[in-house]
Amino acid sequence: MLAFDVEVRRRRFTVAVALEVADGERIALFGPSGSGKTTVLEAVAGLQPLDRGHVTLGGRLLTRSGAGRTVHVPLWERGIVLLRQDAALFPHLDVRANLTYAGDGDPARLAHLVDRLEIGGLLRVHPGELSGGQAQRVALGRALLSRHGALLLDEPYVGLDGRLRPALTALVRAELAARSIPGILVAHELTEAQSFADRLGIVDRGRLLQVASPHEVVRHPATRRVAELVGYLGFVRSGDRVVAVHPERVRPGSWPDLGVVLAGRTVGLRPAGAGYEVTLDVDGAPVVYRVDEAPPTAGAPCEVTALDPPRFPASSGDPNASGEPPVDLRPIAPGAR
């Protein structure tokens, strides 16, 4: 198990995050740029000094700072691999040598990963001859082949085309499960975080706002701020509550048994994939939703139903008006996923 409670003071805010990640469990940290996600990974890996806190892996203390004796195990002795956006390959070694550096030496395992990463024709090539996407795949292979007890991934698919990303996510998931290794992914795309994670952690301004299954976080955001970050695009006041509307959780027409009926006028329409994205004005509040067929023309009255929407207090301008959620930091048991 990887467990940490880290606090790092930054210029604009303090990053303070605590988590436990079970062996074989995958957690994705999602939030806006500059929210502190990479700082968390660097603190766990030993690259970022702590102002307070500790890091343990498999019960072994790696870092402790604050009250009592300071402990800091060197990076190369921690058993943690951090893969950044920069591939950081050894320029004097070819691809094969980069892959096997600090690896387990299993030829079958090497061949399997080379095939899955689609780099079989590059083994004798040096990093200077690789494209950015090729270098990133080699770096991912090196990380998976290395001897480690935890894997940290900081946006590892930068430079890769959309075709490869789902396959590589599936590969990393399988590797972590097979070796029973805790893994943490930092992502700026929600779908990427969801496809990787057993649990999704929402980070904003250095704080962990909610941790739960990806489905639970999106369908039941703990605060309005979480709702904003996971894709809710409409917030309509109803009495002393604010109804949050997700564009994928709207049904045209009036269905009061299924949710909250919203009446307004169509003020925007644009193609979106095979359908349309519609903007509805509901008493001055814009509500965005998606439909398969074109709705009434601009200016026409329209009713839609927000399906089982989350509701938040409307008594404060604070986007976290519902308060900090009771974050569950415990890992999910492997058999309960």
Domains of the chain, by residue range, sit at 2-79+148-221+326-336, 233-309
pLDDT at 323: 45
Count of other CB atoms within 10 angstroms of residue 75: 12
pTM recorded for the entire structure = 0.90
Give the pLDDT of residue 335. 42
Give the model's pLDDT for residue 319.
42
Q: How confident is the model at residue 147 (pLDDT cuts 50, 70, 90)?
A: confident
* Fold for the domain defined by 2-79+148-221+326-336: Rossmann fold (3.40.50)
Considering only residues 294 and 217, tell me which one the structure prediction assigns the higher pLDDT.
217
Please give the share of the chain, as a percent, with pLDDT higher than 90.
77
The confidence score (pLDDT) of residue 306 equals 96
Average pLDDT over residues 304-311: 96
Q: What is the pLDDT of residues 108-142, one digit of tens each?
A: 999 999 999 999 999 999 999 999 999 999 999 99
Q: What is the mean pLDDT of the chain?
A: 90
* Pairing of β 183-187 and β 150-154: parallel
Question: Is 115 within 8 Å of 64 (Cβ atoms)?
Answer: no
> What Å distances lie between residue 75 and 20, 44, 48, 72, 80, CA to CA?
20, 10, 11, 9, 8
CATH dotted code for 233-309: 2.40.50.100
Whether the CB-CB separation of 164 and 157 falls below 8 Å is answered with yes
Biggest distance spanned by C-alpha atoms of the chain: 69
Mean pLDDT, residues 3-28 taken together: 97
| Contact of 11 with 64, CB cutoff 8 Å | no
Model pLDDT, residue 188: 87
Identify the pLDDT of residue 318.
Answer: 45
Q: For residue 315, what pLDDT is reported?
A: 62
| Helix spans in the chain (H) | 37-45, 95-100, 107-117, 132-145, 164-179, 190-196, 214-219, 224-229
Q: At 57, which helix (H) or strand (E)?
A: strand 52-57
pLDDT at 321: 45
Ranges 87-96, 176-185, 290-299: which has the least confidence: 290-299
